[in-house]
Chains A and B, each alone.
Chain A
């Protein structure tokens, strides 16, 4: 065997560094080779994701420099984080990061809590409705193709158009849901005079707008999961006398759950960084201060607050990371089970 190995130099490869590199590579185990192939992607990700994140973190350790030529002031360590989290910096931010009290108004007025409310409410309803839509679309019926089109249309609507639709629904003097009219939610006592200017109303409208648009996304992902379920299982269950609910609970749900979790993960990440619909619907960041809003307004607000803005940006990334971790742990459990 030994002699065989020695003579196995490929033709045209003189040896040297290149040859030894190739030999080293060819001798990697499958796992090692996988990591080796992932290296360029990791480097790229490092350059366009981790480096900016670290750079933001570095900026967040410096004081704001409101006047003067340089963008940031002296090094202050984690003082910006303390100031933002304890509410000391609230005057400079368009809205407090952490609620100042436990009143409803304060909770809706704080970036962290209002974003969490938005995320939980929208992802919850999107999952439930999306699951329902997917179950319907999974059936064979006449006109199924049209039903799919109808469900997917909101997903295809650009965010600015979506914003305009909801603006026109709720703008005083224009929308059918405000003022006097059969559809008026204002007369029903649900909304105020100018819902797009009132934080709680605006939060509800934004949640509804988000559900309207992105339920289709959930439905499509869950539908993909449903279609991978082996139909024979249902036949077996039916023969064994399982009810519709039992078939759902014992076959559909366990098989489709990992897909649902992944879909929820995607939606949660998106919901945590909500920004576009807030601006496009005329609500504006000053009325509904989501986490992304806080970052944007502190960066572009006109007063140069690079340190504070970087702190808020890094905290936002950290909170999204935290929420994502919850899912990943849940997913791992599901996989392991």
Chain B
């Protein structure tokens, strides 16, 4: 049989080789072209041009990358910016709400800044990870781009520890603090009353930090006498919050620190001591274990009483808050958003409101600032500094940047800060405003202003450097393993010491 015959046969089938190749060729070219459209240039400008302070003439919708809370309250915030802050009417806000999980948003911002995306213009950034972005030159240098009037106000009037997490080694500013947050211990006055405590105790506790030994005993007593499911809830899960916050507080309240003196917090990396294997840090872990396991734990410290439920080791903020809201906890260590959520009057539409029965106190302590080896900044009652900045995307179009300047300028108005405090519960990052009469008038937040002020004065920022994210995951791993009794506090802290030292070397 010859090839010719074969070919005749094939011509009769509905798709010939020739037609197939023609079709495949055409689609191949399309795919090929599509594959060639990626890629982008590298830009290396770390200096920023000053942005014009003139408001744009056209209608501008300023894009902000933030969380769902910002999104839910964007109308109130925008109204306040217009009415109290004088932001021009042709500027409106639009929020791209990201995940409520801080880490997810960090990853997202990293990608969009790497890809040099133009939007969003303003990025809401956690004070816990703004510095790595600054170290990689991914944000606009606001000291150069913004008018002096804004940056000098930020540097002079805002919480120093907050500003410290938004600037580079030369002191240039890369973010405007949006709000600050200080954890406190929130507790149920009604339950404490049942166990014999009175309003005068609550008043003292509100501003004078308790000692951990007294606190644990009191909670244990209330837990026992009221038959509540759990005592004092805090966040012990192996997650970023343990390293940045809960452990910083426990350790700090014992006079311990990750890197010795307060001045070492932001570096220089590899040129500062690592101090997690010191006795006061190990004792802090022992105390955390005593809280969970009581005196049965071989590592227990005799001064403290079992006062935390066993699932504390798997708590993050929300599960612990929900347990508290359900009435399963006597006391809770959490951020100020709890006041807004549960400080309302019960029955006033908010079924989980405890009203006046929701009490607050600064985080208790063990070693006073004067006895602490790293005092007076470290030691005594310690609140981890939380809070968020607004940073400017360097790749945003000029009109967007100009609108951003107008927005940031309006944000400096005291009334705007107070309006936002009232509407969203975001504490103004300005000590003077927290301590103001207007703040005290807010309901329910006004009731907690005095406690928040004490917490703010005792706040310690997390030691953010370019290597902090790696260090943070190692810290939460080891501390969580220790409180789950998988390792002794000494083993865990010795291993952590070695790891942190070697990570310092990477920086």
Question: Which residues does chain A contribute within 8 Å of B310, judged by CB atoms?
Answer: 172, 193-194
**Minimal Cβ-Cβ distance residue in A for B6:** A26
Given A173-B323, A197-B480, residue A286 in contact with residue B238 (CB < 8 A) = yes
| A302, closest chain B residue (CB) | B469
Question: What's the nearest-Cβ distance from chain A to residue B245, in Å?
Answer: 16
Measured CA separation A228–B468 after assembly (Å) = 59
Contact check, B18 vs A22: say whether CB atoms are below 8 A apart.
yes
Q: How far is the CA of A287 from the CA of B242 in the complex (A)?
A: 14
CA distance A262 to B342 in the complex (A): 56
Q: Which residue of B lies closest to A300 (CB)?
A: B107
A69 x B499 contact (CB < 8 A): no
* B-side contacts of A105, CB under 8 Å: 486
| Inter-chain contacts of A33 with B (CB < 8 A) | 17
A112 surroundings in chain B (CB, below 8 A): none
Q: Determine if A197 and B114 form an interchain contact, defined as CB atoms under 8 angstroms apart.
A: no
Q: Check A56 for interface membership: any CB of B closer than 8 A.
A: no
Which residues of the other chain, A, contact B507 by a CB distance below 8 angstroms?
66-67
Asked if A27 lies at the interface with its beta carbon under 8 angstroms from chain B, I say: yes
> Contacts A25-B17, A197-B313: A47 and B238 contacting too (C-beta < 8 A)?
no
> Is the beta-carbon distance between B136 and A197 smaller than 8 angstroms?
no
Q: Collect the chain B residues with CB atoms within 8 Å of residue A43's CB.
A: 28
Minimum CB–CB distance from A73 to chain B (whole Å) comes to 11
Inter-subunit contact A69/B468 (CB<8 Å): no
Interface size (A, Cβ < 8 Å)?
A: 43
Of B201-209, B256-264, B373-381, B470-478, the segment with at least 4 beta carbons within 8 Å of chain A is B470-478
**Contact, CB under 8 Å: B502 / A197:** no
Task: Answer whether residue A325 sits at the interface, using C-beta atoms and an 8 A cutoff.
Answer: no
The answer to whether B137 touches A68, judged by C-beta atoms less than 8 angstroms apart, is yes
Q: Does A148 sit within 8 A of B, measured CB to CB?
A: no
| Residues A197 and B132 in contact, CB atoms below 8 Å apart | no
Q: Is B76 an interface residue (CB 8 A)?
A: no
Q: Whole-angstrom distance from the CB of A295 to the nearest CB of chain B? A: 13
> How far is B10's CA from A33's CA once the two chains are assembled, in angstroms?
13
- 1/0 contact trace for A16-44 toward B, CB 8 Å? 00000010011100000100010010011
Q: How far is the CA of A122 from the CA of B320 in the complex (A)?
A: 33
Inter-chain contacts of B106 with A (CB < 8 A) = 300, 302
Complex interface bits, A173-202 against B, C-beta within 8 A gives 1, otherwise 0 = 100000000000000000011101110000
Distance of B327 from chain A, by nearest CB (Å): 13
Interface string of A295-306 (1 = CB under 8 A from B): 001001111110
Within 8 A of A (CB), among B86-115: 103, 106-107, 110, 114
Q: B91 to nearest A CB, angstroms?
A: 31
Cross-chain contact A302 with B311 (CB below 8 angstroms): no
Residues B272-319 near A (CB distance < 8 A): 309-311, 313-314
B1 in contact (CB, < 8 A): no
A304 CB contacts on chain B under 8 angstroms: 110, 132, 136, 466
Complex alpha-carbon distance, A171 and B21, angstroms: 58
Given A25-B17, A68-B136, A172-B311, A197 contacting B473 (CB threshold 8 A): no
Task: Give the contacts of A51-95 with B (CB-CB under 8 A).
Answer: 64, 66-71, 90-92, 94
Instruction: Please indicate the chain B residues that have their CB under 8 angstroms from the CB of A232 in the complex.
Output: none
Choose among B20, B239, B468, B476 the residue that contacts A303 (Cβ–Cβ < 8 A): B468
Confirm or deny: B237 has a beta carbon within 8 angstroms of a beta carbon on chain A: yes
User: A14 → chain B, closest Cβ, in Å?
Assistant: 15
Is B21 in contact with A25, judged by CB distance below 8 angstroms? yes
Q: Cβ of B448 < 8 Å from any Cβ of A?
A: no
- Given contacts A40-B28, A197-B480, whether A67 and B466 have CB atoms under 8 Å apart is yes
Measured CB to CB, the closest approach of chain B to A179, in angstroms, equals 9
- With a cutoff of 8 Å between Cβ atoms, the chain A residues found around residue B129 in the complex are 302
Which chain B positions have C-beta within 8 A of A287?
A: 238
List the B residue with the shortest CB-CB distance to A196.
Answer: B314
Interface residues in A202-222 by Cβ distance below 8 A to B read none
B466: chain A residues within 8 A (beta carbon): 66-67, 303-304
User: Are A66 and B467 CB-contacts (below 8 A) given A91-B474, A194-B314?
Assistant: yes
Residues of chain A lying within 8 A (CB to CB) of residue B314: 171-172, 194, 196-197
Residues of B near A4 (CB, < 8 A) are 4
A8 at the A/B interface (Cβ < 8 Å)? Answer: yes
| Contact between chains at A67 and B470 (CB < 8 Å) | no
Residue pair A286, B502 in contact (C-beta under 8 Å): no
Q: Is the CB of B137 within 8 A of A94?
A: no
Q: Which chain B residue lies CB-closest to A186?
A: B310
**Chain B residue, CB-CB nearest to A4:** B4
For the complex, what is the distance from the CA of A302 to the CA of B470, rounded to whole Å?
7
A305 / chain B contacts, CB cutoff of 8 Å: 470
Cβ of A154 within 8 Å of any chain B Cβ, yes or no, is no
Contact of A91 among B107, B136, B502 (CB under 8 A): B502
Are B132 and A194 closer than 8 Å at their CB atoms?
Answer: no
Q: Is the CB of B114 within 8 A of A286?
A: no
What distance in Å separates the Cβ of B123 from its nearest Cβ neighbour in chain A?
15
Q: Which of B3, B477, B484, B499 contacts A198 (CB 8 A)?
A: B484
The answer on a CB contact under 8 Å between A91 and B503 is yes
**Closest B residue to A1 using CB positions:** B2
> When chains A and B are docked, how far (Å) is the Cα of A316 from the Cα of B506?
23
**Interchain CB contact under 8 A, A91 and B499:** yes
Which residues between 299 and 328 of chain A lie within 8 Å of chain B, taking CB atoms?
Answer: 300-305
**CB-based nearest A residue for B24:** A40
Nearest B residue (CB) for A282: B314
Q: Pick the most buried of A22, A70, A193: most chain B CB atoms within 10 A of its CB.
A: A193
CB interface residues, A 251-309, toward B, < 8 Å: 284, 286-287, 297, 300-305
Contacts of B7 in A (CB 8 A): 26
A91 lies within 8 A of B506 (CB): yes
Which of chain A's residues have a CB closer than 8 A to the CB of B499?
90-91
A67 lies within 8 A of B476 (CB): no
**B35 interface residue (CB < 8 Å to A):** yes
Report Cα–Cα, A40/B503, bound state, in Å.
47
Contact A69 B136 (CB under 8 A): yes
Docked pose: A257 CA to B491 CA in angstroms: 50
Provide the bound-state CA to CA distance between A44 and B473, in Å. Answer: 39
- Is B156 engaged at the interface, CB distance under 8 Å to the other chain? no
**Additional A-B contact list (14), CB under 8 Å, known A22-B18, A25-B18:** A8-B4, A25-B21, A67-B466, A69-B44, A69-B137, A71-B114, A91-B499, A173-B311, A194-B310, A194-B311, A197-B237, A197-B314, A302-B470, A302-B472
17 contacts between A and B (CB under 8 A): A4-B4, A43-B28, A66-B466, A66-B506, A67-B136, A67-B507, A194-B484, A197-B313, A198-B486, A286-B239, A286-B473, A286-B476, A302-B106, A302-B110, A302-B469, A303-B467, A304-B466
Nearest first, the 7 closest Cβ-Cβ pairs linking A and B are A302-B469, A172-B311, A300-B107, A67-B135, A91-B502, A303-B469, A303-B470
Interface residues of B (CB under 8 A from A): 3-4, 7, 17-18, 20-21, 24, 28, 31, 35, 42, 44, 46, 103, 106-107, 110, 114, 129, 132, 135-137, 237-239, 309-311, 313-314, 323, 328, 466-470, 472-474, 476-477, 480, 484, 486, 499, 502-503, 506-507
